[in-house]
Structure 1
Amino acid sequence: MGDLILNVDLAAPERRPKKERGNRKHQSFVRRRRELERRGVLRQKQLPPNRGGPRRTPAKPPPSCPKENGSAGTGVPSNTKGKGRGAAGGTPESTGAPSALQNGRAKTKGRGRGAVAGAPPAPTKLLAMDCEMVGTGPGGRTSALARCSIVSYDGDVVYDRYVRPEAPIVDYRTRWSGIRRQHMDKAVPFHQAQRQVLRILAGKVVVGHAIHNDFKALRYSHPKALTRDTARIPLLNRRGGFPENVAVSLKRLTKALLNQDIQVGTSGHSSVEDARATMELYKVVEEEWEQHLRQNPEQE
């Protein structure tokens, strides 16, 4: 039998390129989509499920640079310049309409006070108030507001008005209040004065002596954290040589610490003079007292 010769080609057969499915429009769409996937433009929910491999994670866009009110990366408005101390001053017979400084929107350079959390209040945020009362009701025993005076940090008059009580005045208490019958001729009604005063005090740190009596006459309750009562600051008593737990009169504190005489004579008190004296007393212990309040906020 003759030899059988087999001619076997062991080389792998050449594979034909796999034709892409679909028409040209679909092929163009697929290529475009793959390019967008490669660049990370498509969001995750837009990506089709990737069979046989992990899903492509789109690249995160670079963080934007915050630019708010001209401050890069801080978010703090750049308009922080003010007019320094005493800029909240006004004139007597002020209508009480809040200005840019009175409503607390204006900022102040000063010494940088109030620029950071926990710092002492800025001068434009500080006001001192004093009220004078007359007697109404049976025997004139009910105290009613008859004058309200507000001064700025530098002692400029922001508001000073005589106020007509709702009830008839029985006792003018002139010896102490300084109020007389003729003062009621141009006095403003109580509710009008109340609205004007509350607009001025809104958002301000209010300094006063036994100021709870003044707020009571205004039928108003100011936030405790924004109230500074010089009758309840032990540092003042200590500086004046008085026991810390004793309520000392404004007249005695002013004489001991400022060497000034107020509430003299028989013509009665001046609420403007008393408000200015109260602010000056607060300044004596301002830094130390504000630091104490920051460390003991429950005592505000």
Structure 2
Amino acid sequence: MSAGCLASLGIAYRRVGQGPRHVLLLHALTGGPDAADGPTTKGWWGPLFHPGGALDETGCTTWCPNLPWSCYGTAWPKESRPSVRAQASLLADWLEAEDLSFDLLLGGSLGGMVALELALIAPQRFRTLGVIGCGGRADAWLWGANAVQRAILDNRCLTDGDAIALARRAAMLTFRTPEGLGQRFATGEAIRGWLDHHGAALAARFTRRSYRALLEAMDGHDLGQERGGLESALQRLEAPLHLLGMRPDQLFSPASVEELGSAARAAGRLGSLAWLDGPHGHDAFLIDLPALQRWVARVLEAPCARS
């Protein structure tokens, strides 16, 4: 594993492995470049990089940058208003400066939004696209869930740590499902302790400024804006788009993933649409790693053709 930062653009990243397949991996809202396990850290997709994993370090070389407006080493962008499109544009500049191209562009949740934009801005740099747990545009449910978190983060009566922790507690209920939480927790005390744990854990490693900025970027996600609509935008892709949705999902509904898939099919750019079914909800792509491994492996092996 190696770390880097392109000084002229301020993009911090990790590079893992020395394999022949090149993968660009984009993290979710509060993730970061540490997708793989390190000497003292546990990566958010660690098992995928283990021997025999879908991103095995002998088979793949994976770059994982810190998204602009996140707080893990990437310089704060000069753009006054955070947006997914601006995040993708800055990453495209980084790829241009480093002259990087990839066999697979892979992203989940917010990372999936940025991956979609990046594939439109720099389509020639990717042979295959894998997008997990997001639609082609933000919707009312996402705006509402983010508004609750922003209201907490904007409350100046709260310290930075308390605001982050409380906003995270609210967010966790959108990342999971009533079924999954019901199976896991039998008492109110138990789930309150779980929420407290996740709130304190994020407060210890994240910043209020980044949290709010990334929520704002998510809110503005609309792939078809100024491109003639979603189907017209997807026609600009030069690689097949493989989608993975979660059922159920309290953050990005299966209907929003279906809408993206239908538009990609109509545009002749859909590679496949698959689902992770189970009780974990939106966070299934961070929890159900055996199923996730199988999907990533299939996408890596898929022919670079579009339907």
TM-score by length of 2: 0.30
Q: Which of the pair has the greater relative contact order for Cα pairs under 8 Å at 6+ separation?
A: 2
Structure whose alpha-carbon radius of gyration is higher:
1
